[in-house]
Amino acid sequence: MVEAAPSILSLQDKDISRRMQTIFKKKKVNIKTNVTIKKIIEAEGSIQAELENGDVLTAEKALISIGRTLNTENLGLEAVGVELGHRGQILVNDRMETNIRSIYAVGDVVMKYQLAHVASAQGIVAAENIMGKDLHQDYTGVPSCIFTSPEVASVGMTEQQAKETGIQVKTGKFNFMANGKASAWVREKAL
């Protein structure tokens, strides 16, 4: 696994990222962070990935999953004067309004959190505002889940983000394996 950022799952709490790195290593996943792939070539039935630090990785297959691109070109947005940001992001305020009155945008194209339930919540805010209400989108408690094994779930700020905003943080830890129900489920999955 090759990751350009200094750690895997870099948007998650550092503890989670470190823990998942250990779990992956136990599963014999070789993780390289802080490095990018320069090129991938096919050689004698295998794939060779050349990294920018000179390392070469050989594998049967390569899976590239490095994000999504927005599809906001050719919609005529520039023609009506809708302000676009980086990579074609549609810029909106917390009422989901663009700079052009009566044009709203929600979902991945506003590049806030690219999650289905966030798109849905933004849609409600936009629809209510279109109908004359004054709703403001609040992102303080966005839940998210990563479908690794074990799964990772989070909501709200990470510990680091809370500290950066000056909040005094207390952390509590509980080993999920000590929870009978969780343990039963994990074993059932392993069968």
Ligand X SMILES: Cc1cc2nc3c(=O)[nH]c(=O)nc-3n(C[C@H](O)[C@H](O)[C@H](O)COP(=O)(O)OP(=O)(O)OC[C@H]3O[C@@H](n4cnc5c(N)ncnc54)[C@H](O)[C@@H]3O)c2cc1C
Residues that bind ligand X (CB under 6 A): 68, 71, 75, 107-108, 114-117, 119
**3-state secondary structure labels for all residues of the chain:** CECCCCCCCCCCCHHHHHHHHHHHHHCCCCCECCCCEEEEEEECCEEEEEECCCCEEEECCCCCCCCCCCCCCCCCHHHHCCCECHHHCECCCCCCECCCCCCECCCHHHCCCCCHHHHHHHHHHHHHHHCCCCCCCCCCCCEEEECCCCCEEEECCCHHHHHHCCCCCCCCCCCHHHCHHHHHHHHHHHC
Q: Which is nearer to ligand X, 56 or 75 (CB)?
A: 75
| Tokens linked to 58 | 């050989």
Nearest residue to ligand X on Cβ basis: 107
Cβ closest to ligand X, residue 57 vs residue 115: 115
Closer of 75 and 167 to ligand X (Cβ)? 75
Q: Is the CB of 67 or the CB of 132 nearer to ligand X?
A: 67
Smallest distance, Å, CB 11 to ligand X?
14
User: Shortest distance, CB of residue 65 to ligand X, whole angstroms?
Assistant: 8
Least distance from ligand X to the Cβ atom of residue 52, Å: 26
The CB-of-188 to ligand X minimum distance in angstroms stands at 22
Task: State CA 170 to chain mean position distance.
Answer: 25
Shorter beta-carbon distance to ligand X: residue 4 or 116: 116
What is the closest distance, in whole angstroms, from the C-beta atom of residue 13 to ligand X in the complex?
Answer: 19
